[in-house]
Copies of this chain bind each other. A is one copy, B any other.
């Protein structure tokens, strides 16, 4: 008899894999190296391992049968929840057995250490001028034949000097009931000075806007108070579309190959945002109609899928989007659980592969207003690059694959608790030291500590490869150098690998290593990125960069020196490299809080020149060259020195100090 296996996805870490039918959720978490508390040792007493089974009607294809996703509660679990009432989706992971593909959300309390907010923004200051403004209403008495709406219009025109305001028809529907109860006192919310989108009875209620960054892998949301402009709360989750493909191209393929594919992924991402809204509402305490505005960024594929547009044309040349302009769409048309009359503003996209996230990043960082030549890089599943120089604003996109985010790497994982995020290798002894996310300080591999590593995330991988190169374990061409000194091992598939953490040190009894394949994946990614940057520089006639801005969650944690060692981007001196966190999300927040920024974003879209890499003469050569690790005469000496940049270009001889 063949045992059935089910796909399990853990949120918010995004860890996922296959488990045998009948395994408990706790066992699955252990198998997959997911951080989950347990004090009572799986007896169903402590409740520390409580998880929520996500409603996944739109996340996974319908099961077709009525079988429960997880086992019914046994007596022990029932008695626990009788004493500690929770919503019905909550289960004890040590007792609930898996019988279907499921999505499991681990609440903050059930992690051994707090979970990370994956996409921090800096919260740059922005003048408050939101698209939605509140006007408290003091209505004249009812006339004989005036309608409620006549009276509101008169008020807005005479008292607020907003003329020709139209009304969202649902707002009219609600107002008819509201005003029949209390005909005089209430508040109106007007969008862009031209449309009444809500009327409410309580002038004191707080109202919010949500800035949303739709990442291929991660959804990040920033809740802002529309009266004060404060960033009230941040939430993120895995993009539930990951089950349809890890990267943009596989999602497009899914949409093209399944008659309902785009619609399914549309519902999935909308439901993902709605779940975030529910969690924010529970944390902050508000009703869904308190969210009166939303500003969204994301790559062009996410843009299309979020709006319900077929991404088919993004999948084949000439890769044109359905629409580039910024859009204002009623939230209810998308099924978003916000105020009924609210709009969603999606920033413009530039091309099939440069999306609104790039526009948001430019809006936040304003490279075009800086002195000198500035390169702005967002490293995600795709790399987006923007170069400002010589009065031009150029952009391009390159497929880096998910390697730099820790995916498609044999021991890779996202930057969540348990991930090795920093690596150092003694060039003499090849002894490895590393730092694990969730612990305060680094530690030696042999020394036991609170958190055992579960995998290695993007910044850890770049660190590891840079250090392996410096220690002579990897050559310039990316080959692992097998000799007595390098102490390489063979992986299950027979490939060579360098062990970062031995099996005795990990939480799941297997070693964490960097394989030859992993090095190749990183080479492809960094080669694409580096070549793309050089093409932009050639196009703009820029010879030297004055500044590099690294955006995205990954850019925030990357070690610039290691990046320089492997040649992730043209050299510009480590002191000139800034990490700015999620600049795309920051841009969405700015556009949320200041409507003029939306116009600015539209202007940026018009100014921005898209450079098609494949069409650029010499790109292949650039790419092939950039696959090599940079020249380094003294690669094997581990003294604090600088590292010359990408040798073949030979334009750099500066020295940088490791910090």
Q: Which residues of A contact B (CB under 8 A)?
A: 142-150, 167, 169-170, 172-173, 175-177, 179-180, 262, 304, 307-313, 318, 320-325, 327, 329, 333, 350-351, 610, 612, 615
Q: Are A149 and B325 in contact (CB under 8 A)?
A: yes
Q: Which 8 A-B pairs have the closest CB atoms?
A: A176-B322, A177-B310, A149-B323, A180-B312, A147-B324, A176-B309, A173-B309, A180-B313
Q: Are A333 and B170 in contact (CB under 8 A)?
A: yes
Contact of A173 among B145, B170, B173, B307 (CB under 8 A): B307
The chain B residue sitting closest to A348, CB to CB, is: B147
Q: Are A310 and B351 in contact (CB under 8 A)?
A: no
> Inside 8 A of A146's CB, which chain B residues have their CB?
320, 324
Contact of A145 among B169, B180, B325, B350 (CB under 8 A): B350
> Inside 8 A of A170's CB, which chain B residues have their CB?
308, 333
> Inside 8 A of A142's CB, which chain B residues have their CB?
318, 320
Contact of A309 among B143, B172, B323 (CB under 8 A): B172
> Inside 8 A of A172's CB, which chain B residues have their CB?
307, 309, 322-323
Evaluate whether A147 and B318 lie within 8 angstroms (CB atoms) in the complex, with A169-B307, A310-B173 already known: no
Compute how far the CA of A177 lies from the CA of B258 in the bound complex, rounded to whole angstroms. Answer: 13
Compute how far the CA of A382 lies from the CA of B144 in the bound complex, rounded to whole angstroms. Answer: 20
Q: Are A322 and B175 in contact (CB under 8 A)?
A: yes
Contact of A320 among B145, B304, B320 (CB under 8 A): B145
Compute how far the CA of A172 lies from the CA of B321 in the bound complex, rounded to whole angstroms. Answer: 11
Question: 17 extra interchain contacts, Cβ-Cβ under 8 A, other than A144-B351, A176-B311, A176-B313?
Answer: A144-B612, A145-B350, A145-B610, A147-B322, A147-B323, A147-B324, A148-B320, A148-B321, A167-B323, A169-B329, A169-B333, A176-B304, A176-B309, A176-B322, A177-B262, A179-B322, A180-B312
Compute how far the CA of A309 lies from the CA of B351 in the bound complex, rounded to whole angstroms. Answer: 42
Q: Are B144 and A322 in contact (CB under 8 A)?
A: no
Evaluate whether A176 and B312 lie within 8 angstroms (CB atoms) in the complex, with A149-B324, A150-B324 already known: yes
* Shortest Cβ distance from residue A599 to the other chain B in the assembled complex, whole angstroms: 16
Compute how far the CA of A313 lies from the CA of B143 in the bound complex, rounded to whole angstroms. Answer: 13
Among A144, A169, A312, A327, chain B packs the most CB atoms within 10 A around the CB of A169
Compute how far the CA of A182 lies from the CA of B350 in the bound complex, rounded to whole angstroms. Answer: 23
> Inside 8 A of A147's CB, which chain B residues have their CB?
320-325
* Shortest Cβ distance from residue A393 to the other chain B in the assembled complex, whole angstroms: 14
A-B contact pairs, 19 of them (CB 8 A): A142-B320, A143-B318, A145-B320, A146-B320, A146-B324, A147-B322, A148-B313, A148-B320, A148-B322, A150-B323, A169-B333, A170-B308, A172-B309, A173-B307, A173-B310, A176-B304, A177-B310, A177-B312, A180-B312
Compute how far the CA of A169 lies from the CA of B144 in the bound complex, rounded to whole angstroms. Answer: 39
> Inside 8 A of A310's CB, which chain B residues have their CB?
173, 176-177, 180
Compute how far the CA of A176 lies from the CA of B322 in the bound complex, rounded to whole angstroms. Answer: 5
Compute how far the CA of A130 lies from the CA of B170 in the bound complex, rounded to whole angstroms. Answer: 26
Q: Are B612 and A322 in contact (CB under 8 A)?
A: no
* Shortest Cβ distance from residue A593 to the other chain B in the assembled complex, whole angstroms: 24
The chain B residue sitting closest to A352, CB to CB, is: B145
The chain B residue sitting closest to A323, CB to CB, is: B149
> Inside 8 A of A167's CB, which chain B residues have their CB?
323
> Inside 8 A of A313's CB, which chain B residues have their CB?
148, 176, 179-180
Compute how far the CA of A241 lies from the CA of B145 in the bound complex, rounded to whole angstroms. Answer: 26
Compute how far the CA of A173 lies from the CA of B255 in the bound complex, rounded to whole angstroms. Answer: 13
* Shortest Cβ distance from residue A197 to the other chain B in the assembled complex, whole angstroms: 14
Compute how far the CA of A309 lies from the CA of B324 in the bound complex, rounded to whole angstroms. Answer: 36
Compute how far the CA of A179 lies from the CA of B320 in the bound complex, rounded to whole angstroms. Answer: 11
The chain B residue sitting closest to A169, CB to CB, is: B329
* Shortest Cβ distance from residue A241 to the other chain B in the assembled complex, whole angstroms: 17
* Shortest Cβ distance from residue A413 to the other chain B in the assembled complex, whole angstroms: 35
* Shortest Cβ distance from residue A519 to the other chain B in the assembled complex, whole angstroms: 35
The chain B residue sitting closest to A167, CB to CB, is: B323
Among A307, A311, A318, A323, chain B packs the most CB atoms within 10 A around the CB of A323
